[in-house]
Structure 1
């Protein structure tokens, strides 16, 4: 006779958990990831959300502020939370698990759940199914993976998190044993279900889940309403939520494998034409267009080139092939000997940037937009459309750096804030421009900026040069501004108004590159407004407010 099981128990659930997933994702993403054995912490809003084993050994814990974490571990590597990276790197893990057992629910990157009944029948038992799924994840190069099986997804998750170890990664709680397993656990495990509830229970003197269960569903319902009743169901092992299998997203990426490896750019571009058309067609079937494209080139020696390309409109097949060509050309230029002419290799030139022939090219959408936003208007879009097509055609002929447009970048000096970026990459420098630049000129900026600072002189009433002393004060009242003339002596302008000085201190820790200057705004007698810089007694004009 079998053991009688309460009829209201939730279905058996199986949870797969990869500890410290943000750290694992960081180590598996990019060309030069940090060593996962180093002390690393991932921060979200200034608080530790994940840390490596080496960081935990130094006293770093989740929930710590950055100041406290770095005080405990001065050599801590600080990384900003990136949910997109976490999801992207976990996608192959989900796909591998789905091949072994369909019906996976993604809880969050690093944690997923399945109904245990189907895999247990297929593989012979719950233990066999858990072992197989753990092996699938390990085969993907992830060493530490935990699997918990219990009544309901909540209990199974706690089994995987609390009841397993690296040496014993699989644990199964028998049917009906969920409440006994949960009872000694801290109320802190409820924080993920109801933020702030753990602190409230602690203030009430309730420390364990078993004590929460003893309060009863009625009392919790009176205090918290429907969420209180749900909490009671969780802590008693009767999680009411079913495992909901995700709908796998359509495969929008395309990958071309070259066998044998190919070393000529023309051959790679030819092999990519049809997959690029299929790529845009798949997006079109979903009502989408690609505005940001990730291109990953892999060489036969394991070397890799990964880049995200932008487009001023939306990528078509020809634009995708062009970006792959440009990436091959940039890689070739980056590894060419100094003085060589590889900066713009001819069509069909060898792809030396990867240091080996190309074995595969992968294209995937990094950013998409609704196709309706890019539909051609009934009567066209006038000059904008013609300019876009003209610049795109010229860029396709000359290469990525062949068409440049101005963009405001970051910096303290006006000349360095003027940047020329390739057509289509205009958003690249917006991040740098938004950073704080102490000493930079606030808006409105001068309308005319000199490519090279213009040498001028500022004189007092007696004709002596005005300077700025060690206290940051002018040595005399500015009266005359002398600017270079078209020919012969300079032109003397009377100063009607002036403001300043405003110090600009740059790289004060570096004796060779340090700059210590003062800015002035001056209005001359002809109502011309100037932005001047006095550095070591030498005056220059950065721009004119005209």
Structure 2
């Protein structure tokens, strides 16, 4: 179930960040460009017809006096740090969704300030007083819905998130390629998208589309308060000899520490979706911030977020006058200890490094290839094995479609009495091979209802091949399942045979017929 979430959104944040850092008033027409397209613009620019997504030449044609600025993620993060610090003064455990947007669990502020609406008003007022920045609050079930509600200044009633999302344009998913395709298919709203069968969405649009589909239905897979991880996954470094007080030295330290964290997680088969950054200064101050991400954080992505955060802390560093108390605007001294906490971990299931190579590009290429095959042939075209429970080797692996939850058909925890003892066979045939077992006189071997073998097995014939002498055998192991349902009942006896030609097989006698179901290495 999604956590009740309060999101804080600062409109046009790339423009506001430029104003705060460069001192250029955003009251005039300003446009921030990324890859030669408008990422954000000021209200004055919108009044002149400037819109998100326009090219630079189109912007200048509509508004010749516009101030064009290149996007700088570091500048956005650096300017947003005082806002996050102001929110942290009233509410603990603030998580940065992205620069200009942060989120907290709504339950604590609502109880402390007498309700969700009073808490929202208090936060907006405090941000305006502390930072001089306009902010909007949204509250809903889950981070995705709360951020969209913040853009509209809405407080969605508990349990009403799915209904609220259903009326929003499908562009709210933030995936332009997916949105364009959905619109061509006649899917206009999140409600229309959520109504599509999940299996069909996965087969047609891949994993990213399946994630967007869950979000459109109000199912947020990223809770705000992740479970604490064992301390051995954290990485830290000390800088007592040369404290970090410059952005360039902090950036170097951030990359080295990020690579260590990524290597540590990869060694445990894990991936990080949220990152906690902790720092200690020469003055003994403790700083903490959490960054969250929609996907898996690579080493480069971790390094970027650490660099942005250190840039924000160090840029806002100030030294109080002698005898004056320190304020909460930023650290008063250089950083002597830096610690990274993977505060949001998911198993890297299906992405083991032994199969796909190093994490990152190779893994993503394999992911895209598998998704493409599923899109062409259906979700069952690519399946992975999940350890399962059962008595036969063929039952002890459940094949699930690529991307689905690795849930076995039967739990592996029960003891499963009567299962084949170790070692497990190397090859299990999807269709058992017909066989026959004879004693020394050439008579077919039978097994009674009390598991008495009519004679010691001496020869085994598989299919139309000539019989092969049996060098050793073990069994029988009985199967007597679902005896209470005659149509589904199964009664059989299993044997292990070592043949004179060096092969070892698993054979089954059921309803008077022998078959070979598996082969050992």
TM-score range, shorter chain: 0.3 to 0.5
- TM-score w.r.t. the length of structure 1 is 0.43
